[in-house]
Amino acid sequence: MNHPMPSAESAAPAVEFEDVSHVYPDGTRALTDISLSIAHGERVALLGPNGAGKSTLMLHTNGVLRATSGHVSVCGIGISDDSVRDVRSRVGLVFQDPDDQLFMTTVYDDVAFGPLNMQLGQHEVDDRVHEALHAVGLAQSSTRASQHLSFGQRKRAALATVLSMRPQVLVLDEPTSNLDPRARRGMIGLLSSLETTLMVATHDMDLAWELCTRAVVLDEGRVVADGPRNKILCDDSLLAQHGLELPMTADLWQRAAERNSAGTIVE
């Protein structure tokens, strides 16, 4: 499924956090001096233990939360009261629980909700719903009620509600959580096929390895590591220090690389 990408002349990052800190009203400090720049087309895994600040960071990408200090911009647009509607048309946020996004009578109505609120014509809305449901493999389920879908299907329907907005940036919270192995493989394949910038908060380390090219590790609201997937996800000591495990696929990849470098023939 193709999504609109910025022109080659655009120098602004897809998403940029500049010294972002966030303190909740009860005084809890969730983020401290976060600075990240994510380029158009990048696929970035946000990793870290529970309470690291991943979800808080994600909610800053489309203005659900506002920085206590620092600045967040999307495609060069700083998030403010005046710009938040524009930003939300560019950033699609997919929550961990699909039922947080599915509330209409039918799947079609859920997926059409965003485009209709953009005041698009009915023909354009139909096209977008058709495109999004085909992309997630639910073209035959448009008239069904979401509560009659399986959990995996609801996950895909929730993704379709965002794809129908044709976002430039897709932000996902635990896209493979609670999925059986077949549904998990299907979700990874689906996300891999999307031509858009991805930010993926996950504890599924193999998803991070297979889908993303860059990994950012958060802990206690700070960025503690940021680099290429092969470097971050193969650093067993770093991962263990922050409550994470080496991906199985990375471990196999490392062992094969070590055998090859030692001159061992790998069949």
Least confident of 72-76, 247-251, 260-264: 260-264
For 68-112, what is each residue's pLDDT tens digit? 999 999 999 999 999 999 999 999 999 999 999 999 999 999 999
Cβ distance 223 to 193 under 8 Å?
A: no
Reported for 129-135, long-range contacts at CB under 8 A and 24+ positions apart, including other chains, are: 129/160, 129/164, 131/1, 131/163, 131/164, 132/1, 132/160, 132/161, 132/163, 132/164, 133/107, 133/108, 133/160, 134/1, 135/1, 135/160, 135/163, 135/190, 135/193, 135/194
Q: How many domains does the chain have?
A: 1
pLDDT band at 248 (very low <50, low <70, confident <90, very high): confident
* Residue 178 counted as domain residue: yes
Task: Please count the other Cβ atoms lying within 10 Å of the Cβ belonging to residue 83.
Answer: 14
* Token reading at 208: 């991070």
Main-chain phi, psi angles of 204, to 5 degrees? -85, 95
pLDDT band at 10 (very low <50, low <70, confident <90, very high): low
How confident is the model at residue 262, as a pLDDT? 62
Cβ distance 136 to 160 under 8 Å?
A: yes
Counting residues of the chain whose pLDDT is more than 90, the rounded percentage is: 85
Three-class SS of residue 58?
Answer: helix
How confident is the model at residue 165, as a pLDDT? 94
How confident is the model at residue 250, as a pLDDT? 67
For 22-32, what is each residue's pLDDT tens digit? 999 999 999 99
Measured between alpha carbons, how far is 111 from 157 in angstroms, rounded to an integer? 8
* Residue 202 counted as domain residue: yes
How confident is the model at residue 7, as a pLDDT? 45
Q: Taking 60 as the threshold, does the pLDDT of residue 173 lie above it? A: yes
For 84, the domain range is 15-101+167-261
How confident is the model at residue 259, as a pLDDT? 63
Neighbour-count burial for 58-79, b at 16+ CB within 10 Å, e otherwise: bbbbbbebebeebebbbbeeeb
Residue 188's CATH number:
3.40.50.300
* Residue 160 counted as domain residue: no
Q: Taking 60 as the threshold, does the pLDDT of residue 62 lie above it? A: yes
How confident is the model at residue 263, as a pLDDT? 61
Cβ distance 122 to 146 under 8 Å?
A: no
